[in-house]
C-alpha cells in the first residue's frame, strides 16, 4: 500500500500485526487511493500436523518451510507445528524455490520437496525426490517423482519408514497461501504403491 501512496491508520496496522502473529494472511483492498477493506485468510491446521513434524525429526529428517507469506505469519504457523525458526523461509519468490532446494543440496544433502502449485514444479524437479499432491496443478504432478492422490490422513513418516533416507536428509515443505498447512504436512494413506520410487533414489548413509 505504501508503494502506491495509500496510508494505513495505526489501529489498522495493529490489527494487521495481530492477525499475522496468529498465523493468518492479511489482504488489503483500496479504492481511489483509500484503504477500504481488510481481508483475513486462515487455514485450519490438522491436529496431527505437529505430530507429523515430530515423527520426521525423530527419523533424522530436517523439516523446513518455504512460503511466500510474510515472516510473522510463517513463524506463527511454524511454531504451532514444531518447525524451528531457523528452518522457516518466508517471503520466498516463486522463482527462488528451485534455488533454495539447490542450496540445501550442497554437501550431498538429500532433499525431498513437497508441492502442489505451478510455482513448485521447478523445485520438485530439482529435488532428489519430488512429491506432488494429486489435487494440485498438472505441471507440478508431471514434475514430481511421487504423486499422492488420496486424502491426507497418514503421517509422512510412514511414507519414509523404510530407512532409505540418509540421516542428513531434509524435507522441504512449501507453504504458500494457496497451500494449507494440512496439505503440506499430512499425506496420502496410499503409500505402498509409490515406495519403489523413493527406494530407487535414496540410499543408506
> CA 194, CA 191: separation in Å to the nearest integer?
5
Annotated domain spans of the chain:
2-41, 49-201
Asked whether residue 155 carries a pLDDT value surpassing 50, the answer given is no
- Cross-strand partners of 199: none
DSSP per-residue letters across 175-203: --TTS-HHHHHEEES--GGGHHHHHHH--
Give the mean pLDDT of 143-158: 56
- 188 pLDDT band, cuts 50/70/90, is very low
In the predicted model, is pLDDT for residue 73 greater than 50? Answer: yes
Domain 49-201 has CATH 3.20.20.70: no
Predicted confidence at residue 173, as pLDDT, reads 55
Arithmetic mean of pLDDT, 141-166: 53
- pLDDT(152) > 70: no
pLDDT of 86: 93
| Start-end of H helices in 37-85 | 49-58, 71-81
Say which residue the cell 511466500 belongs to: 68
Pairwise pLDDT comparison (150 vs 65), residue with the higher score = 65
State residue 87's pLDDT score.
93
pLDDT at 111: 87
- Over residues 102-145, the pLDDT tens digits come to 998 887 788 888 877 677 888 888 888 887 766 555 655 566 66
Q: Which three cell numbers stand for residue 91?
A: 517471503
What are 29-58's pLDDT values in tens digits?
A: 998 888 898 899 887 777 777 887 888 888
Q: How far apart are CA 205 and CA 201, in angstroms?
A: 13
- How confident is the model at residue 18, as a pLDDT? 92
**Statement: residue 60 has pLDDT above 90:** no
Record the cell numbers describing residue 97, joined without a space.
Answer: 524455490
Chain centroid to Cα 48, Å, comes to 16
**Which pLDDT score is estimated for 142?**
67
Q: Which of the given ranges, 61-75, 140-154, 156-170, has the highest pLDDT on average?
A: 61-75
Higher pLDDT, 76 or 193: 76
pLDDT over threshold 60, residue 160: no
Amino acid at each position: 500500500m505504501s508503494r502506491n501512496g495509500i496510508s494505513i491508520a495505526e489501529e489498522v496496522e495493529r490489527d494487521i500485526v495481530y492477525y499475522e502473529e496468529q498465523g493468518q494472511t492479511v489482504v488489503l483492498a483500496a479504492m481511489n487511493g483509500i484503504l477500504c477493506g481488510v481481508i483475513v485468510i486462515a487455514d485450519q491446521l490438522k491436529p496431527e500436523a505437529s505430530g507429523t513434524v515430530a515423527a520426521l525429526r525423530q527419523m533424522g529428517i530436517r523439516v523446513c518451510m518455504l512460503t511466500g507469506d510474510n515472516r510473522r505469519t510463517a513463524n506463527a504457523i511454524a511454531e504451532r507445528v514444531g518447525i524451528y525458526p531457523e528452518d522457516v523461509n518466508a517471503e520466498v519468490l516463486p522463482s527462488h524455490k528451485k534455488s533454495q532446494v539447490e542450496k540445501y543440496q550442497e554437501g550431498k544433502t538429500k532433499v525431498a520437496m513437497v508441492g502442489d502449485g505451478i510455482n513448485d514444479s521447478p523445485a520438485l524437479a530439482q529435488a532428489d525426490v519430488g512429491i506432488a499432491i494429486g489435487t494440485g496443478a498438472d505441471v507440478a504432478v508431471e514434475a514430481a517423482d511421487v504423486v499422492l492422490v488420496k486424502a491426507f490422513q497418514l503421517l509422512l513418516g510412514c511414507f519414509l519408514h523404510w530407512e532409505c533416507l540418509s540421516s542428513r536428509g531434509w524435507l522441504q515443505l512449501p507453504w504458500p497461501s494457496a497451500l494449507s498447512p494440512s496439505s503440506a504436512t499430512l499425506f496420502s494413506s496410499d503409500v505402498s504403491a509409490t515406495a519403489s520410487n523413493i527406494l530407487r533414489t535414496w540410499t543408506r548413509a
